[in-house]
Structures are given as structure tokens and as C-alpha cells.
Amino acid sequence: MANKPSPREVILFPDKLSLSHDAAHRFISLAAQKVSQRQDFNVALAGGSTPAQLYSLLAASPFYEAVGDWAMVNLFFGDERCVPPDSPDSNYHMAHSIMVPAAKKVFGVLPLPAEGGIFHRMPAELPDQEAAALQYEQTLRRHFRIGPGEFPRFDLILLGMGPDGHCASLFPHKPALQERERLVVATEPGLKPFVPRLTLTLPVLNNAANILFLVAGEDKAEALARVLTGPRDPQGLPSQSVLPTDGTVTWLVDREAASRLSPVR
């Protein structure tokens, strides 16, 4: 019997920097719990631009050391644009190019393996996107040691939210939103960059132990108010459907993004 979805928590920050610092503290707290017990810490990273500041913080002092042994940290991706891994539009490129040099600069060594290792990127550059989705699905099944009908349980999934209320690459009214069996699917373009995507599916997101939304900027204000306080519209506002059956969902939002939220009475 799935537990009742845990209550959603929304936390307001004055700006993106303070939001990113809080997210870093949450990341290292969850990571240290697992790594200190010599257990893998399995994360799905968010793409887009909002999490870049968080990734910089995690690859530098004091957060980098606080994680402990990064070899126990597995960085997967919530979604990826179907572009080469060295493209400026690649979510892998964004996260990898921020974290690896930062760690090297501060620690002199390259504690984050430069290739492979803790980064498990989606092979979204493959010409056959369906095959790429299936390949990543197999990667997840092997890593989490799960069989048909089972879903991976990430310790943490980081998500951003688009101005249309999408998360990962689950765009409003697109077929990917209806998927309830596959772990990873290919989807048509949604917002910029208008390229096909690979995305984790909703059942994977909702099987996570912890979900952390990072939402900043005035351009998210209307969608955030609709997602958090508007009528249920799971097809039109995919982020509304992210409610882990046995996990937490926490929204870290900055003042600009929260500007349309009615003040808590």
C-alpha cells in the first residue's frame, strides 16, 4: 500500500544565491547520510540554467568535502536535450563543465572522474532517440538492480520548472506525460532549445525519496502560482503531478518567482 503523499513544502528565499546555498546543504546532508554508511547516493540532476549555481557550490569548499567520498555519488540526469554532449545546449555539458574544473581548481586533483565514473549521462546524441531512451533505461535497471515493472528509487531528484509549468522534459499535453511503464522516453521539443529530448517519466519521479524543485526568476511567477495554488491541471501543468508516493517534495523558490503567490495567512 503506497503511503499517503507527504505534504509539499515551499520555502522562500530572497534570491537565487541563497536558494542555491540551501539546496547545497540539503544535497550534502542527504549525500553524507548514504556515503557515511558506504552506500551509493543516487541523484538525478536538473538541466536548464537555474541549478548551475548549485553545481558550482557542490564542487567547491566547504560542500565538496562535506559529501565525503564522491566515488559513492552517482549523478544521473532527469532529462537531456538530443544534442552532442559537448553542445552548450547539453544538460550534461552544463553540469560536467561546471563541476569537474571547479573541483580540480580547488583540490588540485580531478576527484570527479573526468569521464564516466560518477556521471551517468543520457546518450541523447544518438540518432535513434527511442533506442537512446531504452539504452538509458537499461543503465538505470542495471544500476538499481530492478526488473520489469519496477522503478528506480533515487535518493534525490533535482528539478527545475519551466514558465509553462513543465519539469524535466515532461511538457504540457505531450504523450510523455501519460507514460506509466517506461523509465525513460523520447519526447518532442517543448520550449527552447527546440530539439527532441529524453526524459525520466513521472512514475520514476514519484518513486523518489526526495524531490527538490529549484525555481527562480520573475518569468516563473505565473506558472508557479498556478502549479502551487491553482486548480488541478495535471495535463497543462506537469509539475503539479510531482508528488512522490513515499517521499518528500520541497520547492525552493526565490522572491521573484514567488511574486504571484498569495501571502500565507
Q: Given the rule CB under 6 A, which residues bind ligand 6PG?
A: 46-50, 78-79, 81, 91, 160-162, 166-169
The CA distance from 252 to 13, in Å, is 7
Give the nearer residue to ligand 6PG in terms of CB position, either 87 or 246: 87
Give the nearer residue to ligand 6PG in terms of CB position, either 50 or 201: 50
Give the nearer residue to ligand 6PG in terms of CB position, either 74 or 169: 169
- For residue 23, the minimal CB distance to ligand 6PG (Å) is 12
- For residue 43, the minimal CB distance to ligand 6PG (Å) is 14
Give the nearer residue to ligand 6PG in terms of CB position, either 35 or 94: 94
Give the nearer residue to ligand 6PG in terms of CB position, either 72 or 75: 75
- For residue 15, the minimal CB distance to ligand 6PG (Å) is 15
Give the nearer residue to ligand 6PG in terms of CB position, either 111 or 160: 160
- For residue 4, the minimal CB distance to ligand 6PG (Å) is 27
- For residue 51, the minimal CB distance to ligand 6PG (Å) is 7
- For residue 214, the minimal CB distance to ligand 6PG (Å) is 7
Identify residue 182 by its one-letter amino acid code.
Answer: R
* HEC per residue, the chain: CCCCCCCEEEEEECCHHHHHHHHHHHHHHHHHHHHCCCCCEEEEECCCCCCHHHHHHHCCCCHHHHHCCHHHEEEEECEEECCCCCCCCCHHHHHHHHHHHHHHHHHCCCCCCCCCCCECCCCCCCCCHHHHHHHHHHHHHHHHCCCCCCCCCCCEEEECCCCCCCECCECCCCHHHHCCCCCEEEECCCCCCCCCEEEECHHHHCCCCEEEEEECCHHHHHHHHHHHHCCCCCCCCHHHHCCCCCCEEEEEEECCCCCCCCCCC
- For residue 80, the minimal CB distance to ligand 6PG (Å) is 7
Identify residue 108 by its one-letter amino acid code.
Answer: G
Give the nearer residue to ligand 6PG in terms of CB position, either 117 or 189: 189
